[in-house]
Structures are given as structure tokens and as C-alpha cells.
Amino acid sequence: MNAYMMSLDQGTTSTRAIIFDHSGRIVSQSQREHEQILPQAGWVEHNPQEIWDNTREVMGEALSRATLTRHDIAGLGITNQRETAIMWNKSTGELVYNAIVWQDTRTQDVIDRMEAAHGSDYFLQKTGLPLATYFAASKIVWILDNVEGARKAAEAGDLLFGTPDTWLLWNLTGGVEGGVHATDVTNASRTLLMDIATCKWDDGLLEAWGIPSSLLPEIRSSSEIFGHVHESSLMRETPIAGILGDQQAATFGQVAFEKGQSKNTYGTGNFLIVNTGEEIVFSTHGLLTTVAYQIGDRAPHYALEGSIAVTGSLIQWLRDNLGIIKDAKEVEALAASVPDNGGCYVVPAFSGLFAPYWRSDARGVIVGLTRFINKGHIARAALEATAFQTREVLDAVNADTAVPVMELKVDGGMVGNETLMQFQADILGIPVVQPLIAETTALGAAYAAGLAVGYWSDLDELRVNWGEAKRYVPQMGVEDREEALAAWKKAVTRTFDWV
């Protein structure tokens, strides 16, 4: 048997290739950042060609760093930023427009139009999602309506749409030379175009949005052989056997396979997912209903998700826009230079508020400023914003599921920040648990692919791989916690009705 699995983790800020061994440990990895294109306020784009070029580079580099060849790799899994929309010509591979990223808010007028015409409940009942600029459908409509000739080409069947997993899969399997045009249920469930009960594209939804069905990829399970890498590639003949949207992949990597199990990923944004098993649970507290995963022809598992738009990207903002740190890693020391936030709160509603509010009219605020406040307080308040937002989402989860989350498994780039993790435990009032392998997103994609090619035999074998690295226990008193939460909620209300 081939000794290793490879994951492609196509994220919002970078693309990585990570090679894992059978115990789920990292053997080697390579990473390339791509440009964040910001043409005007509220617009966020990526260049899909740059992402594809980076993908080829990191695959080769990960292999060479471990002194491996394609013969050592049993299979390839893909995980990706989810709601980001890419459209290209199927005959030439030429891009119609840049990728419109999940954070982009330019399509609010499309959303308003759809709400006026159909009401938001129509979409919620079919898709499990609220009407929001976050999801892919309005981005597709924007490209069709704003790029010259795009709608005509789409209606002629000349164009293809995909989230980044689909774009990479199509290119890896040959592109114009017979590339596979497919996605998995988790990514499809983030478009506002898939019926969540049947896991199929819905004709009524497509008609409502005015989107030709020929644009759309085939929906498959998360764990099956989608195709093989094209002969022109370094990884030729390797089976591509797993695809999961990044947050579902992290849930899979955290082995949260059972009803009631959860995880919180700290990345560009934060995403808390709670598995609801084979049952579809519709939220009454501002959470999304989504597909957690589907293994082969087994029944899909569903989840509730709390999506927070800005967490890690707030630290990038401190670095890039304010210049109060030179490197993201410096934020912890700066935050630790003061004993508390000094009464300062940062609510980073840069592109509105996601869960549990869903307020596109909100914009970010810094409140409680006095002459006493320094950059240490602002750094601390920025870190605390992540923890407060997570608390609000967890409250919504507990209200929706009636089974309180007793501990929170965490992963992602920010979990190495001990100040943040301790404050997170304090503000939640429950333990926060970090796994031995922090790269759970890439690991989840490797697991899904590994199951499909028989590298791992079943879910039990994956559960054995999970280990606890660190546990943060609450140390804050109940009164202090409630006081801090009340101040946070007051700060949040200041962001409303800004636009």
C-alpha cells in the first residue's frame, strides 16, 4: 500500500499541500499566499489562475521536501474556502472574471431583489440558509449580469461555475482535455441552489435566481473517487478521492462524526459546527443548516453552523491597515502588556455581521475609547472580539439543539494564541480543548479521501488518531463573565443600521 495521503487546502489567504502518514501526522507541507484583490469597499476578489499555479507549486514542493514521488501517495483530498464563486469557459479554460470571495458584499442589491420577489423563508426552507451575500448564488448572478457576454455564453452552455474545489478538480483532471466538473454535497450546500433534503440542485431555486443549470457541477458525496490527476501533472494517475468544504473538513478532522459533537475553527473567520446526525435541524437562532459530510452512498450527515465573518482577519487588519504590529504573532505579547481591555471593545463588522445576527447593515466599531487606551488595549480587545463572537454563536447552538455543548474542540491558525484560548474558556465557562494535530482542515480532506481508497478502513480507525494536546479550563468568575458579556452586547448594538 502507498504510504501517505496528500491534502490540498485551498484557503482564503493561501493554498497548501500537506502530506500525512497513517497516524494522521504531518510528514511535509508547502504553502503559498495569493493576492487579496480589493477593487473597492466591500469587494473581495482572488485570481483563480494564481491559485491554480500556486497549487501546482505546493504539490511539487511538499513531495520534494519529504523526498517522495507520486508513487508514495495513495490519494488526494481537496478542501477549500466554500462560497467563493469562479466562472470559466469550458472549451478554453479562460476565466470570465476574478473569483468573487465569500466575504464580498457587492451583491446586496441582488439579495434585496430576491427577498422582495420571493421572501427569505422560501430559500431557508429549501436550502437551510438565509438570503445573504455570503453564499455563491448572488455572486453567480452578479457575474452573469455585469460581465459583457457572460449570460449569453452561459445560456449557450459554454461556461462552467464552481467553488475553488471544483476549479482545482477540473484543472487537476485535465481541464479542457476532459476535466471532471463536480463538487461535493458540503460545498453544494453553500450555494443557495441545492435542496438540502435531496442533496440535488433545485429547479425552482435555479429559476428564481435565473441561473442556467448547465453552469453547475455534478454533486457527489464527500468521500469517493472523483477522478485521477491528468497525465500532464507531476501527480499523474493519483486518485482524487475526497472533497469537503473547509469547515466541514475541520469537523471531519476533529473526528466529530456523531450527533452532538462539535468543533470551532479559528481562521480568517470563525466557524462553529455541531453535528446533528442524519436529522436536518432548522435554526431559530440565526445559525445555518448545512451538510456536514457524506461518505459514499451512505446517508448524509447534517450540521448547524455558526459563521463569524471576521476573526483572524481582524489581526491582519491591525497589522496591514493600522500598523500596530508587524507580524500577526506579535499580537499576543501586545495584548498581554495590559491586564485587561481597559473598557475598550472592537466589533469587527467589516462586511456586516454574520451569525447569529445576519445584519448586512452593520459596520465595525471601536467603543469605550478614553485617553487611557493604548495599542495594547486595542490588541487585547481585538483578540477578545473573537471569543465574544464565539460565545454568542455557542449560545445559539445550545438554544437550537437543547443539548448544551460541554466542551469545545478548537483548531485553526489562532489556537496557538494562549491568551485568546484562556479568555475563550473564561467567556464560555466550559473547557476549550486543542488537538495534537492543529491542521484539522487538511487532515479532514485526507481522511475523506483515505476512506475512499481504503487507506483507512473505517471511522473507528480515524477516531484512534485523535489526541488532546492542551486543555484550557475557565478561571473567570461568573459575575465578571456576565459583566463582560453585557458590555460586548452593548457594543454590538452600536454597529447596527450604519449603512
Residue 1 has pLDDT above 70, yes or no: no
C-alpha cell at 122: 422560501
Compute the distance between CA of residue 380 and CA of residue 79 in angstroms, rounded to an integer. Answer: 31
Residue-wise pLDDT for 46-89, tens only, equals 999 999 999 999 999 999 999 999 999 999 999 999 999 999 99
Residue 322 has pLDDT above 60, yes or no: yes
Find residue 367's DSSP bridge partners.
345
DSSP-derived secondary structure letter, 83: S
Q: If you average pLDDT over every residue of the chain, what do you get?
A: 94
Residue-wise pLDDT for 258-278, tens only, equals 888 889 999 888 989 999 999
Give me the pLDDT at residue 186, please.
97
Which residues are CB-neighbours of 95 under 8 A, at least 6 positions away?
48, 49, 86, 87, 88, 89
Please tell me whether residue 396 adopts helix, strand or coil conformation: helix
Give me the pLDDT at residue 439, please.
87
C-alpha cell at 452: 475512499
Residue 418 has pLDDT above 90, yes or no: yes
Compute the distance between CA of residue 491 and CA of residue 310 in angstroms, rounded to an integer. Answer: 16
Residue ranges per structural domain of the chain: 4-247
Compute the distance between CA of residue 20 and CA of residue 26 in angstroms, rounded to an integer. Answer: 5
Residue 495 has pLDDT above 80, yes or no: yes
Share of the chain above pLDDT 70, in %: 100
C-alpha cell at 327: 507580524
Give me the pLDDT at residue 438, please.
81
Give me the pLDDT at residue 68, please.
93
Share of the chain above pLDDT 90, in %: 85
Q: What are phi and psi of 28, to 5 degrees?
A: -160, 165
Q: pLDDT band at 478, cuts 50/70/90?
A: very high
Which residue from 173, 222, 209 is spatially nearest to 459, judged by alpha carbons? 222
Give me the pLDDT at residue 404, please.
81
Compute the distance between CA of residue 424 and CA of residue 391 in angstroms, rounded to an integer. Answer: 8
Compute the distance between CA of residue 480 and CA of residue 31 in angstroms, rounded to an integer. Answer: 41
C-alpha cell at 467: 489526541
Q: What pTM does this model have?
A: 0.89
Q: Which amino acid is at 361?
A: D
CATH no., domain 4-247? 3.30.420.40
Give me the pLDDT at residue 71, please.
93
Compute the distance between CA of residue 342 and CA of residue 370 in angstroms, rounded to an integer. Answer: 9
Looking up cell 468568575 gives 477
Of 329 and 241, which is predicted with more confidence? 241
Residue-wise pLDDT for 96-142, tens only, equals 999 999 999 999 999 999 999 998 889 999 999 999 999 999 999 99
Of 73 and 328, which is predicted with more confidence? 73
C-alpha distances in angstroms, 173 versus 70, 179, 395, 426? 15, 5, 43, 48
C-alpha distances in angstroms, 119 versus 24, 122, 130, 131? 45, 6, 10, 9
Give me the pLDDT at residue 166, please.
98
Compute the distance between CA of residue 206 and CA of residue 202 in angstroms, rounded to an integer. Answer: 6
Q: What is the mean pLDDT of residues 35-50?
A: 94
Of 499 and 227, which is predicted with more confidence? 227
Which residue from 27, 96, 351, 71 is spatially nearest to 235, judged by alpha carbons? 71
> Which H or E element spans position 139?
helix 136-146
